[in-house]
Amino acid sequence: MTLQILWFILFVIIVAGYMILDGFDLGVGILHPFVAKTDEERRISLNSIGPIWDGNEVWLVLAGGVLFAAFPFVYASLFSGFYVAFMLVLLVLIMRTVAIEFRSKRPAPSWRKLWDWVFFLSSLLIALLLGVAFGNIMEGVTLHENGDITMTLLELLRPFPILMGVTTIFMLATHGAIYLAMKTEGALHDRVRKIAPPLMIVFFALNTVIVFLTAMYREHILLAYLDRLWPVIFPALALVAVVVSYWMLRQGKDLYAFLASGAMIALLIFSAAAGLYPNLLISSIDPANNLTVFNATAEPNALTVMLIIALIGLPFALLYTAGVYYFFRGKVKLDPTSY
């Protein structure tokens, strides 16, 4: 039981790490055509994430690997039931990569404009699809006793998951705006800092609606909080992080605003995980079909071996990530090797 809980915590932390790190990449892409007005500014926007975006996506691969190895029954149900949705995520991930790499291969304005919009649309769709997927997990899916999910792509696009997807877009756009403010100078910097507070206000309003709807209509999550009062600390600290991020942004302290924004994203994910626990996948047909931390995990021997490997490998991943951010710190400067 200890191993099962430990892997649940590690999985949630890895997902939070991905949303923080690749989240600002996606946010930069969402804002790309609107805040960067000239070709030089758009190159600066791309190069702000140029050295790190592919490393940030490693955390998505790691999250998928942990889900596959530690919670194989959840992995099997999700990837069979959400197959079309996940193929769409894969497609837009590929298109986003192509846009970043192809954009500056030719100097023609029409060529660069095309890939700018592909970069924007793919970033927007990734944020939307991830939010919709998580919204469906929170709301519950048609999970049968044999682990099958019988929902089409259109059936996944319910009001609450769509609201979650839109909220995710604004959350990551805010996170990306703060990151751009930290990495840019001049007119682009001023433009980004001007748009960040309104984005944060819209995100806060949408998130408040989600909290209200969850409390009113998601009984399984509300009961989890009422039965165990300690998880309340996560949404409370998330609210503090939002306020701190907004205040620091207004004070011109972009780094502290960015750190607070990252903390906010992590705490919101922890809040949702605490509300779902011990469930990993909720059945809207019969609660007896729910996949939980205790009935959907791998064998204890496998969890033990994975933990040893994780204790060896994770420090290297963290060191690599920290090293990349250290070496490419500071404001973005274009050079002959830039995108």
pLDDT in tens, 226-282: 788 788 899 999 999 999 999 999 998 999 999 999 999 999 999 999 999 999 999
Provide the token pair at 128: 């939307």
Residue whose C-alpha is closest to residue 180's, from 72, 31, 33: 31
CA distance 316 to 318: 5
Does a structural domain hold residue 65? yes
Residue type, 301: N
133 and 272 Cβ atoms separated by less than 8 Å = no
Q: Residue 143 pairs with which residues in a beta bridge?
A: 149
CA distance 313 to 127: 28
> Would you say residue 1 has pLDDT above 80?
no
Quick one: average pLDDT of 200-221?
Answer: 90
Torsion of CA 230, 235, 236, 237, to 10 degrees: 100
Does a structural domain hold residue 332? no
Instruction: Read off φ and ψ for residue 109, nearest 5 degrees.
Output: -55, -40
Does a structural domain hold residue 334? no
Does a structural domain hold residue 210? yes
Torsion of CA 274, 26, 34, 167, to 10 degrees: -20
Does a structural domain hold residue 177? yes
> How many domains does one find in the chain?
1
Does a structural domain hold residue 335? no
Q: What is the CATH number of the domain that holds 271?
A: 1.20.1630.10
Residue whose C-alpha is closest to residue 211's, from 242, 174, 244, 172: 242
Does a structural domain hold residue 254? yes
Does a structural domain hold residue 333? no
CA distance 111 to 113: 6
Domain that holds residue 98: 2-326
Contacts of 95 (CB under 8 A, 6+ apart): 118, 121, 122
* Burial readout 51-69 (b: 16 or more C-beta within 10 A, e: otherwise): ebbebbbbbbebbbebbeb
Per-residue model confidence as pLDDT tens digits over 25-56? 999 999 999 999 999 999 999 999 989 998 89
What was the pLDDT predicted at 85? 87
Quick one: average pLDDT of 87-110?
Answer: 93
What was the pLDDT predicted at 218? 79
178 and 249 Cβ atoms separated by less than 8 Å = yes
- For residue 140, is it left (φ>0), alpha (ψ between -120 and 50) or beta? left
Which pLDDT band holds residue 216 (cuts at 50, 70, 90)? confident
What was the pLDDT predicted at 178? 96
For β-strands 279-281 and 291-292, DSSP reports them as: antiparallel
Which residue is listed with tokens 């994780």? 310
CA distance 142 to 199: 34
Give this prediction's pTM: 0.94
CA distance 252 to 197: 12
